Amino acid sequence: VRALELRDGELTSILAPLPGAPDHCLIRVRLAGICGTDLQLLSGYADFAGVPGHEFVGTVERTPPEAESWLGARVVGEINIACGDCARCRSGARSHCPSRRVLGIRGASGAFAEYVALPAGNLHQVPDALDDETAVFVEPVAAACRILEQVPDVGARTVAVLGDGRLGLLIAQVLRGTRTSVTLLGRHATKLDLARRLGLDARLPRPDDAGVFEVVVDATGRPAGFTDALRLVQPRGTLILKSTCAGETALSLAQVAVDEVTIVGSRCGPFERALEMLSSGVVDVRPLLSGVFPLGAFDEAFAAARGGIKVLLRP
DSSP string of 274-307, one letter each residue: HHHHHHHTSS--GGGEEEEEEGGGHHHHHHHHHH
Q: Considering the complex, what minimum distance in angstroms separates the CB of residue 221 from a second copy?
A: 11
Distances 71 to 112, 285, 308 between C-alpha atoms, Å: 21, 28, 35
Q: For residue 53, which phi and psi values (nearest 5 degrees)?
A: 105, 120
Q: Considering the complex, what minimum distance in angstroms separates the CB of residue 288 from a second copy?
A: 22
268-296 as b/e: b if 16+ CB within 10 A = bbbbebbbebbeeeebbbeebbbbbbebe
Contacts with a second copy by CB under 8 A: the residue count is 39
231 scored as a contact of a second copy (CB under 8 A): no
Comparing CB distances to a second copy, the nearer of 129 and 258 is 258
User: Binding mask 67-86 vs a second copy (x if CB under 8 A, - otherwise)?
Assistant: --------------------
How many Å apart are CA 222 and CA 229, to the nearest integer? Answer: 11
Comparing CB distances to a second copy, the nearer of 45 and 292 is 45
User: Binding mask 241-280 vs a second copy (x if CB under 8 A, - otherwise)?
Assistant: xxxxxxxxxxxxxxxxxxxxxxxxxxx-------------
Instruction: Residue 125: name the closest of 217, 50, 58, 197 by CA.
Output: 58
Q: Which of 84, 127, 152, 235 binds a second copy (CB under 8 A)?
A: 235
Comparing CB distances to a second copy, the nearer of 53 and 308 is 53
Q: How far apart are the first and last CA of the chain?
A: 10
User: Binding mask 126-145 vs a second copy (x if CB under 8 A, - otherwise)?
Assistant: --------------------
- From 23-31, 61-69, 93-101, 285-293, give the range in contact with a second copy by CB under 8 A: 93-101
- Amino acid, single-letter form, for residue 222: R
Comparing CB distances to a second copy, the nearer of 41 and 304 is 41
Q: Considering the complex, what minimum distance in angstroms separates the CB of residue 310 from a second copy?
A: 20
How many Å apart are CA 75 and CA 117, to the nearest integer? Answer: 12
How many Å apart are CA 49 and CA 192, to the nearest integer? Answer: 34
Comparing CB distances to a second copy, the nearer of 20 and 225 is 225
User: Binding mask 162-201 vs a second copy (x if CB under 8 A, - otherwise)?
Assistant: ----------------------------------------
Residues 201-220 that bind a second copy (CB under 8 A): 211
**HEC profile of 188-244:** CHHHHHHHHHCCCEEECCCHHHCCCEEEEEECCCCCCHHHHHHHHEEEEEEEEECCC
Contact predicate 78/143, CB 8 Å: no
Give the footprint of a second copy on this chain (CB under 8 A): 45-46, 88, 93, 96, 98, 150, 211, 223, 226, 235-236, 241-267
